[in-house]
Amino acid sequence: MDSRIPISTKMVLSLNGMYGVIAIVSFLAAFFTAFFTLQSFDIETLIHIKDHNLERSNGEIINVLYTNTKINGVPVYQYDYVFHSKIGDINWTSFQGGDHYSEGDQVVIEYQKSKPHINRILGMSHSGGDLFLIVSLFVTALFLFLNFWIGNNRINILSNGEITRAIIKKDDYSLPQQQLLWKSMILSYITKNGYILETSRIIMYHSPQNTEYTLIYHKSNPKKTIIVEHLPWFIQKDVRGIYNRFTTL
């Protein structure tokens, strides 16, 4: 069956329709927005610098750079510095909105007592940008992964499936409609072996009881299903056609 699925249909399913396109665009936008922040992001310092086991030392600014990044309209500067610790002189970098120091200025450095390489200028950040950008990047990456996972599950069902009809058995429409943002429905369907099974869906629109849908279930695991009418409209005909050709062979 897999060889009968058009490449264009596989691509649409892999992307989970427009949701996947939105996920890709969101991820790329977040990535390029956070590009400069990623270059200076120090996850180890983020984890350990909030420990109470910190010590302080004097340091000296050896270089000041403008980063082209702004937080709330304030330009962020990169401050390269050197300070002395128990393991010797350490060179590192901190970031702060606004032009606070010049080359040669003395600053106070706080560092992790057991790991002096984890450090920053007192009161400054270890990364050159808003942490929100990093969080948004991970969220959009998760959204992208989720859509690919859903899409590939659908391809697996379509490649190893049987087609049948499903009927809405019951729903939650008895509740006041204004209280329902997401509505659930339970569909009943019969497999090729004669088993009567049920599957549930969350939807945002009303479908009357006994409404019929075209359903595809996985041969080895009939609980895994696809409702053809819930696929992107422009591939629904192709999906039905795959099974029509298959059943006439």
Residues, the chain, total? 249
Q: What is the dihedral of CA 12, 237, 249, 197, to 10 degrees?
A: 80
pLDDT in tens, 122-165: 888 766 555 667 788 889 999 999 999 998 999 999 888 888 99
Could you tell me the two tokens for 102? 């010049």
Mean pLDDT along residues 27-50: 67
- In the prediction, which pLDDT does 181 show? 57
Give tens-digit pLDDT for 157-168: 988 888 899 998
Give CA separation, 182 vs 52, 125, 201, 202, 206, in Å.
Answer: 46, 42, 10, 6, 10
Whether residue 47 has pLDDT greater than 70: no
Cα–chain-centroid distance for residue 92?
Answer: 32
* Residue 107: pLDDT over 90: yes
113 — pLDDT class (breaks 50, 70, 90): confident
Q: pLDDT at position 248, please? A: 44
Per-residue pLDDT, averaged over 78-89, amounts to 90
Note the Cα 190 to chain centre separation in Å: 36
Burial class (CB in 10 A: 0-12, 13-18, 19+), 15: buried
- What confidence tens digit (pLDDT) does each residue in 189-230 have? 999 889 999 988 877 666 666 788 999 999 999 999 999 988
- What residues contact 166, with CB distance under 8 A and at least 6 apart? 187, 188, 189, 199, 212, 213, 214, 215, 225, 227
Q: What would the CATH number be for the domain defined by 42-127?
A: 2.40.50
Higher per-residue confidence, 176 vs 228: 228
Q: Domain boundaries in the chain?
A: 1-41+129-150, 42-127, 160-249
**54-63 pLDDT per residue, tens:** 888 999 999 9
For residue 66, give every residue at least 6 positions away whose Cβ sits within 8 Å of its Cβ, in sequence order, or none.
75, 77, 78
pLDDT of amino acid 249: 38
Per-residue pLDDT for 45 more than 70?
no
